[in-house]
Amino acid sequence: QISAVVSISAYSAISYAPMAYKDMVLPCARLMAEQLVWTKEGYLNVKNMLEDITTEPGINACIQVEKAQCPILFVAGQDDINIPCVYHANKAIARMKAHGKTNYTLLTYPGT
């Protein structure tokens, strides 16, 4: 039994590769290479590389947080250039709220 979950700067969907779980293989959201952007500092910005998780087929990759019985703590940097983690935390929380769940906390940090 899981007592608690902490999600730190994470997507709210399975990404990069499908995930095996028990006797299932859960789909992943596709990465959209055409969304890669080089910053003026010479870094690769991958922030918008994950396909839209609010519509098909991306929505099938969403982690089913609404089934969680334990508390979930979402920790997200407001200025993360790799993952839009505040957006994803809010998407996960919206799924929980839509199912009447209140077992979540969101902490966001500016400058990170």
- Per-residue pLDDT reduced to its tens digit, 37-47: 898 999 888 88
Contact of 67 with 17, CB cutoff 8 Å: no
Contact of 46 with 67, CB cutoff 8 Å: no
Contact of 108 with 43, CB cutoff 8 Å: no
Query: What is the rounded average pLDDT for all residues in the chain?
Result: 94
| pLDDT range class, residue 82, cuts 50, 70, 90 | confident
| pLDDT range class, residue 72, cuts 50, 70, 90 | very high
2-35 pLDDT, tens digit each: 999 999 999 999 998 999 999 999 999 999 999 9
| Predicted local confidence at residue 44, as pLDDT | 86
